[in-house]
Each structure stands twice: as C-alpha cells, then as structure tokens.
Amino acid sequence: MQSFIVNGGRRLNGSLRVQGSKNSALPILAATLLVKGKSVIHNVPDLSDIRCTLGILKNLGCSVSRESGTVYVDSSCASGYEIPESLMREMRSSVVFLGAIIGSHGKAVISTPGGCEIGLRPIDLHLYAMKRLGVEVNEGSGRLCCSTSGLEGGKITLSFPSVGATENAVLVATTAKGITTIVNCAREPEISDLCEFLNKCGARISGAGESIITVEGVNALHNAEHSVICDRIVASTYLVAGAVSGGDVELLNTEPHHLNSVLPLLEEAGCDIRVKCKSIRIKATGRLNRIDKIITQPYPGFPTDSQALFTTLASVAEGTSVIVENIFESRFKHVPELVRMGAKIRTEGRVAVVEGVRRLYGAEVQAQDLRGGAALVLAGICADGTTEVLNTEFTDRGYEDFENCLCSLNADVYRKVKKDGAIKKKNC
C-alpha cells in the first residue's frame, strides 16, 4: 500500500520538462501491431498503463524492449490475437488494441476493459465501427469474439466524437480495402499524433484533427520512427499546481496551442501566462479569482481530464465558480475528499458549485481515479498542514515520477510505502 504525503504551504517555482502523452503513446504502441518490422517510439512516459500495454504486446508475440524514454517494438513474429482478461482489466485503454489486432490478423478476442470508474464508457461505438467495415462481433460471458473474412472500406458515422472509437476506426480502416470515411470524429491532438505515425509507416490518412477523417486502405505498413507529443493534461496539472501555490513555474517541451481552452481560464483566475514556441510560464500572486463557469467539452473545448484539477483551483479562489461536467457522469468523486479538507462544494447531477475558501487543511483523503488523485495532491500543496493521499496506483497510471517532479518545483511531497507492517519513506 502506498500513499503521497504532502506538506503544504510551499510556493512552487522553477522549470520542468513535460512528459510524453499517455493518451498518445497507448494507441501508437497498439498500432505497431500493424507494422511489419521494428517500430521505434520516442518520448514514451514510464507509467503503469504503458507497462501494461507493453505486456499486451509481448503476450501477442511482439519483441519489446525499452531504453529510457524509447520503446522498440518488433511485430514481425506476432501471431497472437487474444488478450487475457487479467491484462484487459488493468486499463480501460486496452480496448484500442481491438482495431489493431483485427487489422493485423482478421480476428480478435478480448474481454471487457478495466480502468478508472468515472462513469459509463460503453464500447458500442467501437463495435459499430468494426461492423461497418465487415467485422462480425459475438458477445458473451464478458468476452468479445471478432472476425472478418476481409475488411472493406465504408462510411462510419459516430453518434458522439469518442476518442477511443475514432482511434479504433482509423486502425481497422488502415489495412481495409478501399476508402473509409469516418464522420463526427474526435479531434484531439492524440488522434493526429496516431495518424502521423501511421502515415510515416505508409498509411494514407487525411483529415486528422478535423471532424471527418478519410482512410485509403493499404496492403501493409512498414517500420518507422516517431516521437510522441507532450502530455497536455500533465501540463495543465503543473500549471494549476503553480497557480494554487502562488508560484512561478515554467513548463518545457509543451505544445501551447493544445491548451487553448485551459490557458484563458488560468488568466481569468488572475495568473500571468507567458507563452513561447515550446514553453509556458505561469506566475500567480495574491489570491486567485473565481472562474465564472467551467464546462467540459470534446476537444477543442475544455478537457474533462482537467476538470478535477480546476475544482481544486476553484476551491481556493475568491468567489463562486460553477463547473459543468458534460462528458462523464461520475467524475466528481474527488469532491467529498476536497470537502474533507475544508472546501465548500455542492454538487447536483453534472454540476458543481464551488465557493472558494481562504485555505484548505491537511487531511487523509482517498484518490478514486487518476485525475482526481492528482487534484488531491495539488490541494495538499496549497493546504495548511499535512495531507495524505491514499491509492497512488491511480496517479501512477498517468504521471511519471509525480512526487519527484513536484519536489523539483519546491513542493514537499514524498511517497510512503507500507509493506509487511513496516512503513518506508521514498525520498524525493
């Protein structure tokens, strides 16, 4: 059992290089199954979800190795098409392997994926996309058995711009015969990054980043080298950390235009934002201002993954902020924990009304999902006293070396490990 111990009251300052994007690396690593040869993927963060993904690739017969932030995947001898339930349940994003396996082998067997419990995330759209290109799907006993006698391009119209369904549709269409048109696509930068990698491998994909993507199927993909984009949600996490601590923080290796929906809200809160080509600097002095309304929307709108972080910010701002969660219906699980720390938050359905307080107070709280866990650590940074955030396994899914990155910015955070009754401290 592990937890984060956060001693609050320290102003963050300094510079930090932002890690590679988890949500980009996962589908790109899955896409290596379609490649005949060795793929070289740079800027891959060291996360539990990434380790699970590499485990799935090995289970399917790929040769996988890692050197620092670079992952090498050779799928030449990969013949497996079934992912064991034990691996599928480790993370929700494992469903993105469905399109890659079918595109590579013409069949796939998977179980219901796991991951954070933040609300209903049905995979109906994923299966709809498969069926539109000639895949037969049989469901039963928590397993999906998919097969096709030949993938044929077609028109896929998504009822909602789902990131995962868009990725799966692109992956399965890459080697289908003919042209596939995907309508109402998700427009996230991570999808553009996936398509850029596939095009480097010989795919013919156009329209990534727009609402319509066109895929002209090819017979096979060749090996290529690619560097994953930076993680925009991790970047927003450290920006909020700088804001709530009254700090001066510069983030390197960023793509500021990926944060066009986030930066204006930080400015509304009273922060000074300075943007350069690949860096963002945030300065916060005095008490933060309220943010009138925060509404989560598909990209390029405000990301649902940053909602919990901004709930912490609103908790210590002057005035009342309103947060509307439009993507997931169970994404306020961090709220009762913030209330334990002295926050004044009322929720009703998908709306949270946050009345800012002058200070939060240290307490023992529990993370129940990835971004909620990060939000509680940030709350501990600006709280009086000591906060213990239980369940570090959630933050480990998406943040590389989280406590040490925060410590490099002058935070006082360490990981407490309890094993066999003994408690050990992992220093920054």
Q: For residue 390, which amino acid is it?
A: L
Could you tell me which residues come within 8 angstroms of residue 328 by beta carbon, excluding any fewer than 6 positions away?
118, 119, 120, 121, 304
Structure tokens at 251: 């983030």
228-240 burial, b for 16+ CB within 10 Å, e for fewer? bbbbbbbbbbbbb
CA 201 to chain centre: 24
Residues in the chain: 428
Contact 204, 221 (CB under 8 A): no
Q: For tokens 């980009």, what's the residue?
A: 24
Question: Where would I find the beta strands (DSSP E) of 68-211?
Answer: 70-74, 107-111, 136-140, 143-147, 155-157, 179-183, 204-206
Long-range contacts of 343-348 (CB under 8 A, 24+ apart): 343/315, 343/379, 344/315, 345/311, 345/315
| CB 311, CB 338: distance < 8 Å | yes
Quickly list DSSP for 289-332: BP-SEEEB-STTSB-GGGHHHHHHHHHTSBSEEEEE--S-TT--
**Six-digit token string for 18:** 């932002």
C-alpha triplet 19, 25, 249: angle, nearest 5°: 15
CB burial of residue 422 (10 Å; 0-12, 13-18, 19+) = exposed
Q: Are the CB atoms for 222 and 359 separated by under 8 Å?
A: no
CB 267 within 8 A of CB 284: no
Of residues 77, 44, 38, 43, the one with CA closest to residue 61: 77
Q: Find the catalytic residue in 52, 62, 77, 116.
A: 116
Q: Which token pair is 17?
A: 């290089």
Question: With DSSP H G I counted as helix, E B as strand and the rest as coil, what are the percentages for the chain, rounded to 5?
Answer: 35, 30, 35
Residue in 405, 373, 230 with CA at minimum distance from that of residue 305: 373
145 is catalytic: no
Residues labelled catalytic:
116
